[in-house]
Amino acid sequence: MTPRTPIDPDLIAKHNARLEKDLAADYAHLGEVLARRGVDLEAITARVQKFAVAIPSWGVGSGGTRFARFPIAGEPRNVFEKLEDCAVIQQLGRATPTVSPHFPWDRVDDYGELHEFANSYGLKFDAVNSNTFEDLPGRLSYKFGSLTHTDKAVRRQAIAHNLECIEIGRQLGSRALTVWIGDGSNFPGQLNLAKALERYLESMREIVAAIPDGWRAFIEHKLYEPALYSTVIADWGTSFICATQLGANVQCLVDLGHHAPTTNIEQIVARLIQFGRLGGFHFNDSKYGDDDLDTGSVNPFQIFLVFNELVEAELRGAPGFAPAYMLDQSHNVTDPIESLMESAVALQRAYVQASIVDRKALEAAQESNDALLANRTLQNAIRMDVEPAIKMARKRAGGAIDPVAVFRESRYRQCKASARPQELTGKSGIV
Ligand code: LRH
Ligand code: MN
């Protein structure tokens, strides 16, 4: 069944036709430069075509902060419209075939219908995300925690929600559950730090016991926010210990924005790979806190250094290496579709640049403690303009050579502004 196409394929073909000649010239030039380095461009382009990252369903709407959210006309009002927008990102960018849903934000009555709807656009569902950081009317409050709350009834409610997310994920064809909890404290002394983690493990054991065969559970750590003094799952070390306590199908998810600004994230990635507990990523960028900015928009070298570890592990065949790639961003001042397309390309760029690192030269320099040559070997890769490889991979996969230009020319957002009438109320909050 050919997937439905929210953007007129003729518009993509017409637009590509205008750019093809220049792309061919740039591609040939890159091929020559890489060939001199013993790198086969066709092999690199084939790798890009296989690269995929999941779109966060909550990322296609405008994001906000605690101060305000500035919605845009034509943004999605429900999960079906979110999937339409995800289909645009996939049709033009060809790097995002899956969507990571969040519950209860994406709750519907018929998950079979939702599965079908996504499938009609050629989209599949990635890890499901539970939400025990917001209260629902008539339910027990998570003000003082969820899976670690001192009140067993609140923990039961949070466990039941995660079991429900697993059941929904099973109906949607997902194969993983991401558990991020904001549990923690705002005052020294407010929380018994050890007991809180004990309650976490007790609750997670029930959730992990319900994880279907072939599934994984991802523990997502975060340094702070909403808790501002202590967070129960604050860092990779706590996440790693819990994963090893809870079972072989429990792994650690690294959200790049969940670390203190000076943290060496690529070393955390190397450690989690070394001990077979790297479950996946929530990619984004940040300057200060959990800013959820567009991937690669502030510190593209950071993303490159993470992919340098990932490609090295892939090439050496690290045991159990199967990280799930997902974006997790909040688009407060840009069109979410444009930001997500650009962010997927930023990941492809880091993946390609990490794939052209001269690994032999790097190892030789490392073994001989030639620090300058070792660092230069990485710099040589990140200084390479690899856009022609990414564009060619996209074109060959049926996408747009310039996705943002085609998206704007399609006037998709303007069309949706009239098709999706809504109150553009600027209430605060991340979604
Ligand atoms: C927490 C987080 C988590 C999601 C939420 C939307 O900061 O990164 O992954 O549940 O954002
Ligand atoms: Mn996240």
Alpha carbon distances (Å) from 86 to 14, 31, 75, 214: 22, 32, 12, 26
pLDDT of residue 365 exceeding 80, the answer is yes
Say what the pLDDT of residue 183 is: 98
Region 347-375: what's the mean pLDDT?
98
Tell me the Ramachandran region of residue 56: left when phi exceeds 0, alpha when psi lies from -120 to 50, beta otherwise: beta
Q: Which atom of ligand 1 is nearest to the CA of 225?
A: 7
Alpha carbon distances (Å) from 187 to 184, 227, 406: 9, 9, 51
Nearby residues of 369 by Cβ (< 8 Å), 6 or more positions away: none
For residue 293, which of 72, 59, 53 has the smallest C-alpha distance?
Answer: 59
Determine the distance from the C-alpha atom of residue 416 to the mean position of all C-alpha atoms in its chain, rounded to a whole number: 25
User: Cβ < 6 Å from ligand 1: which residues?
Assistant: 58, 129, 180, 220, 222, 255, 282, 290, 328
Ligand sitting nearest the alpha carbon of 254: 2
Distance between CA atoms of 272 and 143, rounded to whole angstroms?
Answer: 32
Region 206-222: what's the mean pLDDT?
98
For residue 220, which of 259, 169, 248 has the smallest C-alpha distance?
Answer: 259
Least confident of 168-182, 311-325, 416-430: 416-430
* pLDDT, tens digit (0-9, with 9 covering 90-100), for 281-301: 999 999 999 999 999 999 999
pLDDT of residue 430 exceeding 90, the answer is no
Ligand sitting nearest the alpha carbon of 133: 1
Residue with the smallest CA separation from ligand 1 atom 2 is 180
Per-residue pLDDT band at 428 (split at 50, 70, 90): confident
Surrounding ion ligand 2 within 5 Å at CB are 255, 282, 328
10 Å CB burial of residue 66 (0-12, 13-18, 19+) is: exposed
Instruction: For residue 219, list its beta bridge partners.
Output: 179, 252
In one-letter notation, the amino acid at residue 394 is: R
Residue with the smallest CA separation from ligand 1 atom 9 is 180
pLDDT of residue 427 exceeding 80, the answer is no
Per-residue pLDDT band at 1 (split at 50, 70, 90): confident
Per-residue pLDDT band at 355 (split at 50, 70, 90): very high
Least confident of 62-66, 354-358, 383-387: 62-66
pLDDT of residue 431 exceeding 80, the answer is no
Give the Å distance between the CA of 311 and the centre of ligand 1.
Answer: 26
Q: For the whole model, what pTM was predicted?
A: 0.97
- Mutating to test ligand 1, I would choose from 128, 283, 295, 328 the residue with most ligand atoms within 8 A of its C-beta, which is 328
CB burial string 206-216: b at 16+ within 10 A, e below: ebbeebeeebb
Per-residue pLDDT band at 423 (split at 50, 70, 90): confident
10 Å CB burial of residue 304 (0-12, 13-18, 19+) is: buried
Residue with the smallest CA separation from ligand 1 atom 7 is 290
Give the Å distance between the CA of 258 and the centre of ligand 2.
Answer: 8
Mean pLDDT of the chain: 97
Region 168-180: what's the mean pLDDT?
98
Query: Phi and psi at residue 196, in whole multiples of 5°?
Result: -60, -45
Distance between CA atoms of 86 and 90, rounded to whole angstroms?
Answer: 6
Q: Which atom of ligand 1 is nearest to the CA of 58?
A: 6
In one-letter notation, the amino acid at residue 263 is: T
* pLDDT, tens digit (0-9, with 9 covering 90-100), for 124-166: 999 999 999 999 999 999 999 999 999 999 999 999 999 999 9
Residue with the smallest CA separation from ligand 1 atom 1 is 180
* pLDDT, tens digit (0-9, with 9 covering 90-100), for 80-112: 999 999 999 999 999 999 999 999 999 999 999
Say what the pLDDT of residue 271 is: 98
Distance between CA atoms of 253 and 326, rounded to whole angstroms?
Answer: 10
Q: Are 407 and 93 in contact (CB under 8 A)?
A: no
CB burial string 219-251: b at 16+ within 10 A, e below: bbbbbbeebeebbbbbbbebbbebbeebeebbb
Alpha carbon distances (Å) from 160 to 130, 141, 222: 11, 14, 23
Say what the pLDDT of residue 426 is: 66
